[in-house]
Amino acid sequence: MARPASTVWDASLYLRFADARMRPALDLMGRLDPANGARPGHAIYDLGCGAGNISRILAERFADSRVIGIDSSDEMLAKARSQTPDARVTFAKGDLSEFKPEVAPSILYSNAAYQWLPGHVDMFPALMKLLPPGGQLAIQMPRNHDAPSHALMRKAAEAGPWRDKLAGVGGIARVHEPARYYDVLKPLSAELEVWETIYQQVLTGENPVAQYTSSTGLRPFLEVLDPAERAAFYDTYAGMTAEAYPMRADGITLFPFRRLFIVARRA
């Protein structure tokens, strides 16, 4: 069984499920206005850009725009830089909780990153204020907390000698009800769309749900354990998820996953 070997952001493990993770990124991108990609002197920001996969697609879609990816992980940024030959796409290290753009943004785009930041909802109005009239804030976050994949993290945390070490682990910051984001952004928006989609993700391989979450939501649990405990905890969690998400006769495991989308146009 493939277990996570370390707890720093593992770009290769994250990218193993690139297809399933790409679809929502593209669905979000589909709501961006091409006019915002053609504003002279402005840039499109990819906030929490990870390995830069989406930054590169943004640059392909918006051929007249600079794209700047921001991330706090050296490992992700190294991968992003090594895979991005296009000079229009650059990457910078930064913490999203104190984001200050060096170039005026026309679009602030973020796929699957803000769920890591406690209090993110209160950061969104400030992001809107960085945009020119007509500019867009586009954010996608997983909202799968109530699914077995996430409930079983807590159950596995309580099911072994690691219980005390994992007692205070919070995991991903809770993503709120859609209406909360609507209410916060509405006063600053000329147009505002908030919606959810549950993707029926098609995964392959052994215990794919545990492998999927081990590069994201399970990381805070894995981080506080030593290697031997980490392996035992992971196996416990993987056994639970294999039961909750059985492999089908064709070798496929379906992993339903709820995601929240926000697209706001600055008034």
Ligand X SMILES: C[S@@+](CC[C@H](N)C(=O)[O-])C[C@H]1O[C@@H](n2cnc3c(N)ncnc32)[C@H](O)[C@@H]1O
Question: Which one of 95, 102, 193, 243 is in contact with ligand X (CB under 6 A)?
Answer: 95
Which is nearer to ligand X, 84 or 236 (by Cβ)? Answer: 84
How many CB atoms sit inside 10 A of residue 7's CB? 17
76 binds ligand X (CB under 6 A): yes
Which is nearer to ligand X, 37 or 50 (by Cβ)? Answer: 50
Q: Point out which residues pair with 90 in neighbouring strands.
A: 68
Total length of the chain: 267
How many CB atoms sit inside 10 A of residue 192's CB? 17
29 binds ligand X (CB under 6 A): no
- Is residue 145 within 8 Å of residue 216, measured between CB atoms? no
Block residue for tokens 């006063």: 187
Q: How far is the CB of 112 from ligand X (least distance, A)?
A: 4
7 binds ligand X (CB under 6 A): no
Which is nearer to ligand X, 32 or 162 (by Cβ)? Answer: 32
| DSSP sequence for 132-145 | PTT-EEEEEEE--T
Residues 53-72 that bind ligand X (CB under 6 A): 53-54, 71-72
The set of residues, in sequence order, having a beta carbon less than 8 Å from that of 69 and lying 6+ positions away, is 45, 46, 49, 52, 55, 77, 80, 89, 90, 91, 92
223 binds ligand X (CB under 6 A): no
Which is nearer to ligand X, 96 or 156 (by Cβ)? Answer: 96
Sign of the torsion formed by the C-alpha atoms of 263, 30, 64 and 81 = positive
Question: Which one of 106, 149, 189, 216 is in contact with ligand X (CB under 6 A)?
Answer: 216
25 binds ligand X (CB under 6 A): yes
Question: Which one of 97, 155, 193, 197 is in contact with ligand X (CB under 6 A)?
Answer: 97
Question: What is d(CA 102, CA 145) in angstroms, rounded to the nearest whole number?
Answer: 35
91 binds ligand X (CB under 6 A): no
Q: Which stretch binds ligand X (CB under 6 A): 95-103, 120-128, 159-167, 170-178?
A: 95-103
Q: How far is the CB of 96 from ligand X (least distance, A)?
A: 4
124 binds ligand X (CB under 6 A): no
Angle ∠(143,147,153) on CA atoms, nearest 5: 100
Which is nearer to ligand X, 117 or 267 (by Cβ)? Answer: 117
Total residues contacting ligand X by CB under 6 A comes to 21
Would you give the DSSP letter of residue 161?
T
* Burial status of residue 266 (CB atoms within 10 A of its CB: 0-12, 13-18, 19 or more): buried
112 binds ligand X (CB under 6 A): yes
Pick from 59, 35, 60, 76: which is nearest to 68 by CA? Answer: 59
Which is nearer to ligand X, 20 or 244 (by Cβ)? Answer: 20
Structure tokens at 28: 């979000």
Which is nearer to ligand X, 135 or 217 (by Cβ)? Answer: 217
Pick from 138, 84, 90, 116: which is nearest to 9 by CA? Answer: 116
Where do contacts with ligand X occur on this chain (CB under 6 A)?
9, 21, 25, 48-50, 53-54, 71-73, 76, 95-97, 111-113, 116-117, 216
